[in-house]
Structure 1
Amino acid sequence: MAKGFASTGDTADKTISFDEIGRDLYAFTAEGDPNSGIIIGDDGVMVVDAQATPVMALEVIERVRKVTDKPIKYVLLSHYHAVRVLGASAYDEAEILASDTTRDLIVERGQQDKDSEIGRFPRLFRAVESIPGLTWPTITFQKQMSVWLGKREVRIMHIGRGHTAGDVVAWVPDANVVFSGDLVEYHSACYCGDAHLKDWPETLKRLGEFKANALVPGRGAALATPDKVRDGIEGTRDFLSALYDSAKAGVAKGLSLKDTFVATKQVMDPKFGSYAIYEHCMPFNVARAYDEAKGVDHPVIWTAERDREMWAALQG
């Protein structure tokens, strides 16, 4: 029996949590839905990842307003995916920050990604009609920049390719807290459809070298202790290793993409099958891992049409 396409059947609302994980540092999480982070400084606020629509971003803003009346001066895009960025217009007057590479990816594939993601997961694009268009950064940087919220530094860094080519993390040195975007997921499947799977584990190694006191992952609960941070990073690495090792084995044996998908699921289902969005992610993950194992470094652009064709070929 064919499985329903991606997450079109996931219609149940999730319970939102808003947890303080350091002094004036908060995690907005929702049971495996995309997270946002909040950094409050002396004279303003930075939000990490904007949510998928302006209407959904208002839920983040509502919670920010319960803990501070300082202006939201910055919205940081950890990467280019629509579910993270298209709500940015709700943040009036805020500067939109992203890496140079993230901006390049929006130019190259932003519209296709928007159409693709809305088709895959309609619940995450509530009030989709409120989106005015693609989100464009107002400030970009190559590798690293510091933003000062009064005396509080937020150091934004591209530490390597992983979930996408342009991922950045935000580190707050005075609390040693990191906001990782989708470089780390906690008890949620990694989406790897636009990933660089050979690079991602090395990027995680660099992230681990922060020895952070707390970390806000892209999905899943906030990791509020050093032990939880290590668990989150190691769990993400385990997921990626199982995926890419299985894909490489399939390519080495000359298996088709379909047969590699079946073999990879046999390896991964027992350990990871209960993770949030696992069934959604796996066809896209194996397709990308198979391409990379065959030497395709630059991920092929996903379109709404390609999504459906791939899903039918692997899950049909």
Structure 2
Amino acid sequence: MGFLEVADRVWVARHAWFDVNVTLVGGSRGLLLVDTHASSLAARGVVDDIRALGVGEVTAIVNTHEHFDHTFGNQVLRAAYGAVPIHAHETAAEQTLAAGDRIKALYTADTTDPHRDEVLATEVVPADHTFSSAVALDLGDRLVELVHPGRGHTAGDLVVRVPDADVLLAGDLVEESEESGGVPGFGEDCYPLEWPLTLDIVLGLTTSSSVVVPGHGAVVDRDFVEDQRNQIGILAETVRDLASRGVRVEDAVAAGEWPFPAQRLGSAVRRIYEQLPRSQKRLPLI
């Protein structure tokens, strides 16, 4: 639907494919683009939307994590705007090529997906400017902060804070989308046990008036983030309790009471069982 301004010189484009958000942050030195969509073809649409907005040129890119729906447009944006720096957490940058190979293998196997050809044709370009904890980017008349608050959706998540506008771009640490039923992205590389603590750090970067842009879905507020943090915390503690009582991982989804639809929690439950220390797991009851 193109870019809409959600705060002073912060524009969000919400795309139908994956209900993913692509965000622009404007400064006197140019535009910071946060996430680049899921293919070269989709990214060309992003470039068209930026030019239609008419507020400047992209001078830097941020990937909030390594997944393809946030990184596969990197090459096209570079082709459009030159060798602009691409920023990401060091772990995300390190994992981008491997993550791209995994998703291309899935699309290769699925001959029915309408996006198959464009995903397979995309050249994967990882970030070349990395950090471990936090870094500030100078956009001229405003500073933007990149913060790695901890592991959650992936090991290399970052959030983007625009302090003067009281905006936080949360990546997939926060998701609102109806496409997922409001369930966060519990993939095979997530860290559900650590995710609530990571969101505690994120909440510490917000105020009661903050505009929070999730990786997918509508713009939300601090209360939404706090609610989702608590739901993920309940999920983690429920699995911890089941494991401590000897419930087997394959039986856990059916045995628990969940804050999210049970059919969407298989990966999350498996990951928690994998990440629990042995002292918190008992042998299955017979």
Fold agreement, TM-score > 0.5: yes
Q: Unaligned regions of 5+ residues in structure 1, if any?
A: 1-15, 224-228, 296-316
CA contact (8 A) 1:197 1:289 kept: yes
Paired amino acid for 1:245: E
Distance 1:209 1:233 in 2: 11
1:59 lines up with 2:42 in the alignment? no
CA contact (8 A) 2:160 2:170 kept: yes
Paired amino acid for 1:251: A
Q: How many matched pairs?
A: 265
Check 1:189–1:124 CA distance in 2 against 1; reply closer, same or farther (3 A cut): farther
2:284 equivalent in structure 1: none
Match of 1:173 among 142, 152, 163: 163
Residue 91 of structure 1 aligns to a residue whose secondary structure is helix
- C-alpha distance after superposition, 1:9-35 (max 9, x if no partner): xxxxxxx46431111101222466222
Check 1:231–1:118 CA distance in 2 against 1; reply closer, same or farther (3 A cut): farther
5 Å matches for 1:283-294?
Answer: 283-293=266-276
Residue 174 of structure 1 aligns to a residue whose secondary structure is helix
2:283 equivalent in structure 1: none
Distance 2:115 2:21 in 1: 12
| Deviation of 1:126 (Å) | 6.6
CA contact (8 A) 1:52 1:82 kept: yes
Match of 1:39 among 17, 22, 25: 25
Distance 2:12 2:6 in 1: 7
1:106 lines up with 2:91 in the alignment? no
Paired amino acid for 1:156: L
1:261 lines up with 2:253 in the alignment? yes
| Deviation of 1:175 (Å) | 0.8
Check 1:49–1:248 CA distance in 2 against 1; reply closer, same or farther (3 A cut): same
Check 1:109–1:17 CA distance in 2 against 1; reply closer, same or farther (3 A cut): closer
Residue 164 of structure 2 aligns to a residue whose secondary structure is coil
Residue 11 of structure 2 aligns to a residue whose secondary structure is strand
- C-alpha distance after superposition, 1:143-192 (max 9, x if no partner): 12221222221111112222111111111122121111011112521112
CA contact (8 A) 1:185 1:232 kept: no
Q: Unaligned regions of 5+ residues in structure 2, if any?
A: 279-286
5 Å matches for 1:211-222?
Answer: 211-212=206-207, 213-222=210-219
Match of 1:128 among 119, 122, 129: 119
